[in-house]
Structure 1
Amino acid sequence: MEIDEELTLKKIQIFLAFMRCGNLSKTAVEMQISNVSVHKALHSLENSLRCPLFKNEGRNLIPLKSAYVLEENSKKIVQDIVTTVNKTREAAGFASKIFHLGSLYSLTVNTIPSIISGLKLRRGDLDIQLLLNSNLDLVKKLKATELDAIIVALNETTQDQEFECLPMFQDDIFLAVHKNSKYAALKEIDLSQLKDETFLILAKGFATRNDSDFVFEKAGIEPKVFLQVSDIFTLISMVSSGVGLALLPGRISTIYENSVKLIRLKRQYQIKQEIGLVFLKRKERDPNLLALIAECRMFSRNV
């Protein structure tokens, strides 16, 4: 049997509301439409089904046996549709019970713990899975929908028409030295005078590596690299051991603070690293993502 195009889900929902409420006025209030619209929907439903559902007793509509049969089976249909929609949205990563968040290693010092704690308060049943990696790799995983959102440095890697970016805070880049270094007592330093010093650097793809390359070039020096590492904590540990110098963001100042000193660069070499939330525009209405956006905005106001 061919289904009439006038038989819509909206009319079924109005019908079910009427069967629950028992009259036009209460149904209109529940569905937030007029009495006339309720009556038209019920009459149209009868026409599309090609059979009566009610009989008139004065100004009242009295359900027939056909109405009760439709009610029983329609409840199943509506529930199946709701289940189907939810499963479809979960498959696409919308309102899933698992949220995949990507971030930089350096942001785990205080930013990410605060964000995740707030997000769990907003959505307590959400399973948050955190992936730490470089800016470049996280951006690639976001675009491939392997991640739901990332909190990273906003730079050329995040400039994509598919992305929406929410700036959160800015961080300065400092020279990190061992506390017993001959430079440790300085309040600021001229990077161009460190041509003969040994440096430790992050691997390519990390935001701080990109910023370091820019600052080194601006200072006109080719750094003597002792070691290249793939996470910022190893880098800080090596600096604390006195192996070499490094350029690092200020947010890591609490790590090894008894053995590592951060020195501000002279004005001409100063650079700011902007940290923010990045997500796919097509997912901006996902409830989980909306909760994360709200939490990131709150965090940015308190920085």
Structure 2
Amino acid sequence: MPPRVDEEITFRKLEVLLAFMQCGNLAKAAEALDISTVSVHRALHSLEKGMRCTLFRHEGRSLTPTDAAQVLAEVAGEVIKTMIDGIRATREAAGYGSEHLKIGSLYSLTIRAVPEIVTVIKSRRPDLQAELILGSNADLLDKLKRGAIDASLMAVPSYDSEIESIELFEDEIFFAAPIGSAYGQHDAIDLRQCRDEPFVSLSEGFATSGDFLEAFRIADFTPNVVMKVSDIFSLINLVSGGVGYTLLPGRVRDLFAHKIMLIPLCAEYDMRQTIGLSFLRRRERDPNLLALATVCRLTIKGQQAS
């Protein structure tokens, strides 16, 4: 059986020892720890009792550390650091966050929702280091499952026993054309009338690319896709430049109204993306994620009301 540590020796008392060694006297150590001088003296005396050797010499009203105290302080610093690291690792393994929060997001959500959400979460938790990681829905879901991100703002994935999602809002899919296009005169677009038109689309894995494929499945023809890109901003620029038409979510309208038109699709093509906050179900009680979920709900509610 390994040697046992005397019950008089505790992490708290080792912290008192370190404070005393750094501050140089009882009063300053007590102030640093926000406890009484008597409590500091009692903790140091208890440590001596547990160590069964002299740690301090009394010189008048002062305590002077011995070489033994110096050795114990060095070990105590390493022990406490290791324990703090261990606590952090244990909490993360159990699904509780650290001071770092990695938030995944679709590119299109950075237009309005994400900047406000990040700003608010930082104001509520100033010590929290937030990192934003952009990608397609498929890429973000993969990162979520691998633990590369903590949560993701994206189209709510189909049921998965590992994933918990909080629905935030629904977004309609529109036909996108450049400013001045003749299609702008239509109240609604029947994709069958666009059979001979060139199209551009997002690469596979994006929520909007899935809607694009589904719409043309309903239209019962394969569109002439002249180019695919990996972000929605490049896609919008291609449409604006007249390279091809595409389908886009309504959330991009406000920022790009000067470049493209978003025209409703006929009722048979009615499609909506459900956007939400997704995270691993085992981390549903993580305080960082609970705070993020609250901020997301309030932010989206405020934007919808404005």
> What corresponds to 2:238 in structure 1?
238
8 Å contact kept, 1:89–1:95: no
Deviates more, 1:88-97 or 1:165-174: 88-97
- Per-residue deviation, 1:70: 5.8
8 Å contact kept, 1:89–1:96: no
Encode CA deviations 1:45-87: one digit per residue, 9 max, x unaligned: xxxxxxxxxxxxxxxxxxxx879846999xx799679625533
8 Å contact kept, 2:111–2:252: yes
Encode CA deviations 1:211-265: one digit per residue, 9 max, x unaligned: 1111111122211111111111000001111111110000011233112100001
Task: Give the Cα separation in 2 of the matches to 1:239 and 1:203.
Answer: 15
Distance 1:90 1:127, change over 3 A: farther
Alignment of 1:1-303 (within 5 A): 69=49, 83-89=84-90, 92=93, 94-156=96-158, 159-302=159-302, 303=304
Structure 2 unaligned regions, length at least 5:
12-44, 56-71
Structure 1 unaligned regions, length at least 5:
14-64
Task: Give the Cα separation in 2 of the matches to 1:197 and 1:291.
Answer: 47
Counterpart residue identity of residue 215, structure 2: V
Task: Give the Cα separation in 2 of the matches to 1:191 and 1:90.
Answer: 52
TM-score when scaled to structure 1? 0.73
TM-score when scaled to structure 2? 0.72
Q: CA RMSD in A?
A: 3.4
Task: Give the Cα separation in 1 of the matches to 2:259 and 2:124.
Answer: 38
Counterpart residue identity of residue 194, structure 1: C
Distance 1:132 1:67, change over 3 A: closer
SS of the residue corresponding to residue 255 of structure 1 reads: helix
8 Å contact kept, 1:237–1:256: no
Task: Give the Cα separation in 1 of the matches to 2:250 and 2:147.
Answer: 31
Task: Give the Cα separation in 1 of the matches to 2:207 and 2:301.
Answer: 23
- Per-residue deviation, 1:95: 2.9
Deviates more, 1:99-108 or 1:182-191: 182-191
SS of the residue corresponding to residue 285 of structure 2 reads: coil
SS of the residue corresponding to residue 189 of structure 1 reads: coil
SS of the residue corresponding to residue 149 of structure 2 reads: coil
Distance 1:89 1:118, change over 3 A: farther
8 Å contact kept, 1:240–1:256: no
SS of the residue corresponding to residue 172 of structure 1 reads: strand
Encode CA deviations 1:110-157: one digit per residue, 9 max, x unaligned: 01111111111121111111111110011011101111111110133x
Counterpart residue identity of residue 173, structure 1: I
Counterpart residue identity of residue 220, structure 2: G
Task: Give the Cα separation in 2 of the matches to 1:276 and 1:258.
Answer: 28
SS of the residue corresponding to residue 201 of structure 1 reads: strand
8 Å contact kept, 1:176–1:260: yes
Counterpart residue identity of residue 125, structure 1: D
Deviates more, 1:214-223 or 1:162-171: 214-223
Counterpart residue identity of residue 193, structure 1: Q
- Per-residue deviation, 1:289: 1.2
8 Å contact kept, 2:199–2:246: yes
Distance 1:255 1:83, change over 3 A: same
8 Å contact kept, 2:101–2:131: yes
Task: Give the Cα separation in 1 of the matches to 2:290 and 2:92.
Answer: 18
% identical equivalent positions: 40
* Runs of 4 or more above 6 Å deviation: 1-4, 65-68, 76-82
Task: Give the Cα separation in 2 of the matches to 1:286 and 1:249.
Answer: 31
> What corresponds to 1:39 in structure 2?
none
Task: Give the Cα separation in 1 of the matches to 2:237 and 2:187.
Answer: 22
